[in-house]
Amino acid sequence: MQKYRLLAPGPVPLPKRVLKALAEPALHHRTPLFNHHLEFCFSELQKVFQTSQPVLIQTATGSGVMESAVVNTLSPEDEVLCIVGGKFGERWVQIAQSYGIKVHRFDVSWGEALELDQLEAKLKEQTQVKAVLFQACETSTGTLFPVQAISQLVDQICPEALVIVDAITAMGCFHMPMEEWNLDVVVAGSQKAFMLPTGLGFIGVSEKALLASRESQCPKFYWDWSHELKNYPQATRFSSANSLIRALSEVLHLFSEVGMKTVYERCQNLAETSRWAASELGLEVFSSSPSPSVTAIQLPHEVEGEKLRLWLEEERNVTVMGGQDQLKNRILRVGHMGAITNEDMKVFFQNLGEGLKKPRSSDFEDELSKRLQASEEFFL
Ligand SMILES: *Cc1c(COP(=O)(O)O)cnc(C)c1O
């Protein structure tokens, strides 16, 4: 069998030094040695989020910290606006409704760019909302939303409202300065750009969000930020996921050694190269506002996407994701986060061409290599 290649938009392949850290003996989470790792992580996370306010760590998947964001800042009966352009936008709606929060929807056709003037009109109708919730990148469609512009509109039209961003496939992928852009709650997860196994959630909390959290009436126990903040930055309230935190400190060391610019450039390069390679294979990119972190490749109508995806996985040992719901069978989603090597990308596109029985020009592979080499495999 050929080497396994993981090109999903999370979970992602892990750098060697992360694998090594994960193999270290367990540390107790109330020891000076562990404390040292945790405090380093807290202070480096602020640099990645570009905020001087706390970035909390809770042991959970990404959806867990989305829920944490909602239950800590809002109350039942509050009204919020959710921007819904795919599966993860729907998740904000489901979480908020689970707590009796009244949701107004701003629907964006899946894969289409958000129209700011339409959003402006919607906000003007709903100036009473307590928060606006959206994705920086909607992973289910590979679509980037204009985070800064959305935040500016909310500040102009609903200055009281919190800006709550699911940045799970954005933070660590591209420039998104939390403080400068006035984002109130920003959530991220370990198994995407942070190159770790699933299990850690990160939550950047602005001063305004902290104030809101003191008023919030949603029921909560595990998620309650007030206890996390009491211990911050010396400890987490419950047992820290000690192996994951040590691996996180390895990643944050790596980020600080190479610089975030290099990290962002890698993501951008893989995205641009994927768009180019797709078009060489006669395919189109699904989204009209494609993200640097994941590319959704649209498949020709005669191709059954799920069959192709399974063939890649079972016959070629390459994992990419398909589409969900209305996009089932219609797209393949290839991720650009984590320790994806040039070789992984080449193997994927070679096999995709074969699977689609698309003749490739003789220069295709040379040009593909050349483009990939333009960014650094900084995680090797
Ligand atoms: C991966 C992802 C999540 C979280 O998914 P989990 O499976 O709960 O970790 C949330 N939002 C977006 C945009 C994602 O890409």
Which residues of the chain form beta strands (DSSP E)? 5-6, 55-59, 79-84, 102-107, 131-135, 137-138, 143-144, 162-166, 185-189, 200-205, 284-285, 294-298, 318-319, 321-322, 331-335
Rounded Cα distance between 346 and 59, Å, is 35
pLDDT digits (tens, 9 = 90+) for 219-269: 999 999 999 999 999 999 999 999 999 999 999 999 999 999 999 999 999
pLDDT tier for residue 68 given thresholds of 50, 70 and 90? very high
Q: How far apart are the CA of 367 and the centre of ligand 1, in A?
A: 33
Q: How many CB atoms lie within 10 A of CB 28?
A: 10
pLDDT tier for residue 137 given thresholds of 50, 70 and 90? very high
Q: What pLDDT was estimated at residue 370?
A: 97
Pick from 204, 200, 293, 205: nearest CA to 250: 200
Q: What pLDDT was estimated at residue 361?
A: 77
242 contacts 199 by C-beta, under 8 angstroms: no
Q: How far apart are the CA of 61 and the centre of ligand 1, in A?
A: 7
Q: What pLDDT was estimated at residue 359?
A: 76
Mean pLDDT, rounded, for 136-156: 98
- Residue 189 Cβ contacting ligand 1 at under 6 Å: yes
211 contacts 187 by C-beta, under 8 angstroms: no
Count how many Cα atoms sit within 13 Å of the Cα of residue 16 in the half-sphere of its side chain: 5
Please say whether the dihedral angle defined by the alpha carbons of residues 293, 63, 65 and 210, taken in this order, is positive or negative: positive
- Residue 338 Cβ contacting ligand 1 at under 6 Å: no
- Residue 141 Cβ contacting ligand 1 at under 6 Å: no
Task: Point out the ligand 1 atom lying closest to the alpha carbon of residue 64.
Answer: 8
Which tokens is 223 given? 């998620």
- Residue 135 Cβ contacting ligand 1 at under 6 Å: yes
Pick from 355, 353, 66: nearest CA to 203: 66
Q: What pLDDT was estimated at residue 358?
A: 87
Mean pLDDT, rounded, for 182-188: 99
Rounded Cα distance between 155 and 146, Å, is 14
What separation in angstroms does the CA of 375 have from each of 42, 267, 352?
Answer: 28, 9, 22
Mutate to test the pocket of ligand 1, among 12, 63, 140 (most ligand atoms within 8 A of CB): 63
Ligand 1, atom 3, lies closest to the CA of 62
Q: What pLDDT was estimated at residue 374?
A: 97
DSSP 178-195: TTTTT-SEEEEETTTTT-
Ligand 1, atom 4, lies closest to the CA of 62
* Helices 342-355 and 260-280: angle between axes, nearest 10 degrees: 20
- Residue 350 Cβ contacting ligand 1 at under 6 Å: no
- Residue 61 Cβ contacting ligand 1 at under 6 Å: yes
- Residue 67 Cβ contacting ligand 1 at under 6 Å: no
pLDDT of 360 strictly over 90: no
Task: Point out the ligand 1 atom lying closest to the alpha carbon of residue 136.
Answer: 13
Ligand 1, atom 14, lies closest to the CA of 168
pLDDT digits (tens, 9 = 90+) for 152-184: 999 999 999 999 999 999 999 999 999 999 999
Pick from 138, 195, 147: nearest CA to 169: 138
pLDDT tier for residue 129 given thresholds of 50, 70 and 90? very high
Share of the chain above pLDDT 90, in %: 98
What's the distance, CA 22 to chain centroid?
22
Cis peptide preceding 159, ω within 30 of 0:
no
